A and B are shown apart, each in its own frame.
Chain A
Amino acid sequence: MSQLSITPQPFVLAGHPPPGSTLLWQWQYAASGIAASGTLTSSSTLDTTGHFLISGITGSRNGDPVVALAPPGQAIPGNEGFPVDDLIGPHGTLTGNGFGYETASGNFANPFFADFLHPHTFREVVSEPAFSEVSIQFQAHVVPGVTLATAAPAAPVDALRLVVIDAPRSGFLALDGTTVQYVPSDKEPRDPLTFSFELRDQTGSTTPVVSVIAAGDGPHTLTGAASGYTDISLGKGDNTIALSGSNNAVTLGSGVDTVHGGTDDTISLAGNTSLAIYGKDEMVFIGKGNVRIDDQSIGLTVSIGPTVQHAVISRFAVDRDVIDLTGGVGGFTDTTSVLSALQSDGHGGTRLSFGNGGVLDFAGVSPEQLHAANFRFG
């Protein structure tokens, strides 16, 4: 049996969500004899097709709790040949593949958008009690605020409760499904905003305490909680952050920053940033901007967003570091295509172009040194 767990998410109080952060949606649909609703979590960055990728789901269908999201690329039982893609558009629209989910009773459902019908309509395919497909009225919208953390209950049907340890001095916290959301009342706090919380299930089990620190432009020198699970968001400036434990999340604006990471931390770079990263099994998200990463960590993964401009990575360890190109960045969907696109940068390094002006430079690493295990596609 799995344990109740929680994952802090990168966030900013104002402006576009940073790379690697999560959006929270409320979804619902109805038809005669059908009523389904709940929450979705998705990526916050549009993929090359203009959609967000759904990563989590909660809710119920006719009172039957939703227990799992169907993985993209797979069809729900009985609907073979029509795999779900788990994509959702900015206005809550679905593709012709839609998303899929499983319920506690063992049923499967797949809402999608049927543009092959006239008039176009949302439809639902369902596996039980008998395979059927009907038109539905579907709606999804993004929940206001910023997503601070997402939880995974020990059992999918466990109801959770948000317990505030230290309350924020302003703004409003909420628990919707398994996601902790925050609406700030001051989007550019002059003094650092700090608060902490945990989630508790019906058995009394609790998650680790998530400590949140949000501050404006720096410089800042911050130390995370000794137990980890610290969620830090900073504006522009040169910052030095020391993290402990594991599962911390740090969002940094433009500046020259040093992060002494713990383990399995998430660093989101939301501007023109020069980052020195230490720690183990760290994940760095690159969004829009020019970025330099000095990798002094062990086992770094760098996720490249579709709006990357110029990213330079020095000390890239070819035996353990990974570039994540999930979402089809640069049109790369397999290792063959990406390895064949690697070029010398003329200075002993390697250049990978993404076709929209975006470039990734592996400083000091020749194209021949890079191999399939250095790239991931989702």
Chain B
Amino acid sequence: MRTVVLLALVVGGCGRGDPGISREKAEAVLTAYHYTDISLQASSNGWSGTAIPASGGYRMNVTVDRDGVLQISPCACGGKELPTQATRRD
């Protein structure tokens, strides 16, 4: 019985839902890169979801992996923010 419980804990610890780092750490990485409106879900590869650059812009796909490395890619998830930059020439 004790062996079964231990085995279940080991399997659970390495399962698909274990991101390897805390949500706070993942959000700290995104904050360091000036992302806001962060939405993350745990996965076996870390924390994945979307976020928006604080300076404005589209929502991006983001993954903070188990090493705390941020991977950014364009997001076809809609929800884009309209640019707010004034149209002016330098």
Contact = CB atoms under 8 A, between A and B. Distances in A.
B85 A172 contact: no
Contacts of B34: 144
A50 B87 CA distance: 17
Q: What secondary structure prevails in chain B residues at the interface with A?
A: loop
Interface residues of B, number: 29
B71 interface: yes
Contacts of B55: 141
Given A139-B57, A173-B69, A93 B88 contact: yes
Nearest to A121: B87
Interface stretch (A22-30, A294-302, A366-374): A22-30
B3 interface: no
A106 B84 CA distance: 31
A285 interface: no
B56 interface: yes
A90 interface: yes
B85 A138 contact: yes
Nearest to B85: A139
B85 A92 contact: yes
B73 A115 contact: no
Contacts of A134: none
A50 B89 CA distance: 11
Contacts of A122: 87
Q: Which of B82, B88, B90 lies at the interface centre, i.e. has the most chain A CB atoms within 10 A of its CB?
A: B90
Nearest to A113: B89
Nearest to A94: B89
Contact of B57 (A28, A90, A167): A28
A174 interface: yes
B83 A28 contact: yes
Q: How large is the interface on A (under 10, 10 to 19, 20 to 34, 35 or more residues)?
A: 35 or more
Contacts of A59: 74
Contacts of B16: none
A163 to B, nearest CB: 8
Most buried by B among A159, A175, A177: A175
B89 A175 contact: no
B53 interface: yes
Contact of A113 (B68, B69, B84, B87): B87
Interface string A140-174: 01011100000000000001011010010000111
B63 to A, nearest CB: 9
B71 to A, nearest CB: 5
Contacts of B80: 28, 30, 35
B24 to A, nearest CB: 14
Give the one of B73, B82, B87 with max A CB within 10 A: B87
Give the 6 A-B CB pairs with smallest separation, nearest first: A139-B83, A174-B70, A89-B90, A176-B72, A141-B55, A183-B32
